[in-house]
Structure 1
Amino acid sequence: MDSGAPDSPAGVAGPLRFAPFRALMLSSRRVGDPASARAFARPYRGVTERLRRWERQGHLVHDADAALYLHEYTANGLTVRGLVGALDVSERASEPGGRVVLPHEGVEPQQSAELAERMHQMRLNPAPILLVHRGPAEVRAVVHDVVAGRPRAEFTDRSERFNRVWAIRDPLQLASLATHLADCRVLLADGHHRYAAYLQMQQAHPGTAADRGLAMLVDQDDTPLFLGAIHRTLTHTSLRDVRRAVDGLASFAEATEQQAMAALGPSTLVLTDGTDWARIELRLSPGRAAVEMLHEELVPRLPPARRQVAYHHSVEETLAHVPPGGVGVLMPAPDFDLVDQIVTGNRLLPEKATSFQPKPGLGVLMRSLLDE
């Protein structure tokens, strides 16, 4: 944790292009079933034959014709829909301003390399990376026209998610999407290592199916993703250590649990050692996120042996994992427009800065590299 700055994935140059593909889709009873993961397990070279066997057994469908797809899913009362296609990653931007896919976190090169090799052996993109933007009205109009039609598939999966999938093959709709998406720039919400793996695969195998990678694009103005906080725990750290570290950076105040939780906000962090509580009011400059200041200025001021950070997706999980002699740090939920402003300014956020939810389920839409 915080041991070094991860690499920024290379930039894909515009125009933004989504190509139709022939989807592989697990049957509704297989989607959301933890047992389905065995189809994608080692040995990875055997995945293609396993999926062919599942297709013969009726556990998987392979579309006969290529399409762009619209996938809508509802989880925990939140409905999200996105266009799913084969994202063109074959051209690299010569400068940051020319990028059309904007990562907001760095990646570990070894992890990306392992994913690239895995997908190459499987001959498969098993799940789309998740992209998000505030889309043009023309694209939204096509999406709404598609939704008004009959879905290709409609089912509740094993994880209790309700899914609907449409195949978009109408030439006029495809042409309109291609035209109005071309000039868009999109935020990479989830799948940074898979995106970097796409780029590595393309570099190693140009002119092949590796020129594209599976992606889902969500319009934040239409069916917004929930953007939640990822909280922290610091080991071998006391509230007194933190109080010393923030001197000159922020104001530190002891508080009751109720007072501290009520103060949590864009520039206010909440701390607890499991017994006592405090709040930190950060002196943030415009356009800067609280998570940036925490990792770039506050954590480095702690004694080196105490810079161990763990990550938690809920307040309850964080409080349950405050280590003895450690501190829990409750973070404010980041704002989508602030994250977008940061990446547009060619900055990366620290590791585990955002939690975009809900993500598409594994197996609803997959892409075989053997089709192209």
Structure 2
Amino acid sequence: MSRTGLTRDGLRLSPFRGLRYAPERVGSLAAVTSPPYDVVVRPDGLHHLETADPYNIVRLILPHGGSPDVCHRRAGETLRRWRAEGVLRADPEPALYVYEQYGEGLLQRGLIGALRLSPPEDRVVLPHEDVMPDVVAERAALMRATAANLEPLLLTYRSDEDDNRAARDARGPHGATAVIERAVRRAPLLTTTTEDGLRHRLWAVTDPAELAEVDADLSRRQALIADGHHRWATYLRLRAEQRPSPGPWDSGLVLLVDTARHPLRVRAIHRLLPRLRLPEALEALRGSFRVRRVDGPLPRALKALSDPADPANREDPGPGTAVPAIATAATATMAAGSADNAFLLAGDDGSFHLVDQPDPALLARAVPGGRPRAWRTLDATVLHSVLLERIWGVPDDPEHIRYIHDAAAAVEQVERHGGTAVLMRPVREETVRQLAQQGVMMPRKSTSFGPKPATGLVLRSLTTD
């Protein structure tokens, strides 16, 4: 994102002494990494990571214990012990880190550093989703106990929004891009391949001239939070607690990616409603949405979700689940919601049901007004304002709504334990950016940008930095 709308200087990314695993002390770097804490959603996934290596980073980001206080204290003790044993070591000098992820059809590069925190009104870093206060409180307690930023947020900016493309191409790479491209021609600090097939490489940038080049470029930029809204809110909360004394809490660990050069993938985040049985969910939709049973397996059902208007998605309701199609051409111009809203429901019987064409009158009553149409027509807005709150009466708390990034994992969970899985469609990145620039928050867990940085390759200690 460009500097448009900024009231202060833009992004200020500072070098820090990265805390990294000593390769000789662990089985492999891949064995000690983890996805971000909120992607490790299944107990079997947590167990898999814990048993991959006794020093897997998941023991810090998702510690076990009899109570939250015990969990956080254990994480702090574990981190201090690993440092004392030489399992984790601080790099000798402060650096920005060039981070590369490479896989089939994918090449993403960005910069990891300590980003100066700025108040929301400065519009330097733009969130696009609401957060859950209990999650922020839990992450804050963990950061206090460990005195560390354990995993970087994923932020994006666009280098070409205020650059003349012809002039830029004539002079070649410059600013942060040039520094990154020079770094990747050198020998990396580390290389590893995780079990998802992605290769990860890391380089340190310590040259004062290159650091100045990055700073001059990024200080004109504005960033969008792609992943890590709760951790960003946690950074701001902890900084407020430490004021007025300046110090390491004034910055937070981030990965900055220029999506003009490395576009991110945007995926949906699905909902698992463990206390709502599928037959009850379908019956409650009668007269408000169109419901059609669609054939599996999951990839075929997801294809129907991606294009619910396709004639191939014929109505095959099954007994007791169909409702008449109530939407008309008027839905194309209604004030709230959209004729295009669609969801895929799954239950423990292995069936899939396509839910679309909401009643325009219901949407007009249930979807809050006073916000841009792009927000009112989001699937996530309709899901939370209409389905969860109005039709199903599902409380907005972790016991009743769980968020799962992988559709197959959501279906597996509901088939194993019951309830209803609500599979979602991704939101276009441009929609996310436009709403963020208007200061409009999307419903929480509306998007999943990726690829996400692997947790465990570089940490930031607040006692070392």
TM-score (norm 1): 0.81
Tell me how far apart the structure 1 counterparts of residues 421 and 13 of structure 2 sit (CA, whole Å). 42
Displacement, 1:115? 2.4
Distance 1:231 1:181, change over 3 A: same
Q: Name the residue aligned to 1:7.
A: none
Distance 1:154 1:219, change over 3 A: same
Q: Name the residue aligned to 2:455.
A: 362
Q: Provide Cα deviations, 1:61-96, integer angstroms capped at 9, x if missing partner.
A: 32111111111123676332220011111x424x3x
> Aligned pair 1:344/2:437, yes or no?
yes
Q: Name the residue aligned to 2:179.
A: 142
Select 1:172's aligned residue among 199, 209, 212: 209
Displacement, 1:261? 4.5
Q: Name the residue aligned to 1:4.
A: none
3-state DSSP class of the match of 1:223? coil
Q: Name the residue aligned to 1:319.
A: 411
Q: Name the residue aligned to 2:284.
A: 241
Tell me how far apart the structure 1 counterparts of residues 449 and 420 of structure 2 sit (CA, whole Å). 25
Q: Is the 8 A contact 2:304 2:354 kept in 1?
A: no
Matched length: 350
Displacement, 1:281? 3.8
RMSD (CA atoms): 3.2
Distance 1:140 1:106, change over 3 A: same
> Aligned pair 1:269/2:312, yes or no?
no
Q: Provide Cα deviations, 1:90-136, integer angstroms capped at 9, x if missing partner.
A: x424x3xx311112222233432332233233222121111122234
Q: Name the residue aligned to 1:216.
A: 255
3-state DSSP class of the match of 1:144? helix
Summarize the alignment of residues 260-299 of structure 1 with structure 2, pairs less than 5 Å apart. Answer: 261-265=302-306, 267-272=340-345, 274-275=350-351, 277-281=353-357, 285-286=373-374, 288-299=377-388
Displacement, 1:242? 1.9
Q: Flag the structure with higher strand content.
A: 1
Distance 1:31 1:299, change over 3 A: same
Displacement, 1:321? 4.2
Distance 1:92 1:38, change over 3 A: closer
Tell me how far apart the structure 1 counterparts of residues 149 and 247 of structure 2 sit (CA, whole Å). 14
The AA in structure 2 aligned to 1:223 is H
TM-score (norm 2): 0.66
Select 2:16's aligned residue among 16, 21, 44: 21
Distance 1:164 1:113, change over 3 A: same
Runs of at least 5 residues in structure 2 that lack an aligned partner in the other structure: 1-5, 33-48, 64-72, 161-167, 169-173, 308-339, 364-372
Q: Name the residue aligned to 1:72.
A: 100
Tell me how far apart the structure 2 counterparts of residues 199 and 229 of structure 1 sit (CA, whole Å). 26
Select 1:50's aligned residue among 78, 81, 97: 81
Q: Name the residue aligned to 1:32.
A: 31
Q: Is the 8 A contact 1:239 1:327 kept in 2?
A: no
Q: Is the 8 A contact 1:342 1:348 kept in 2?
A: yes
Tell me how far apart the structure 2 counterparts of residues 310 and 43 of structure 1 sit (CA, whole Å). 26
Runs of at least 5 residues in structure 1 that lack an aligned partner in the other structure: 1-10, 247-251
Displacement, 1:18? 0.5
Summarize the alignment of residues 45-194 of structure 1 with structure 2, pairs less than 5 Å apart. Answer: 45-47=76-78, 49-55=80-86, 59-74=87-102, 78-89=106-117, 91-93=118-120, 95=121, 98-136=122-160, 138=174, 139-156=176-193, 161-194=198-231
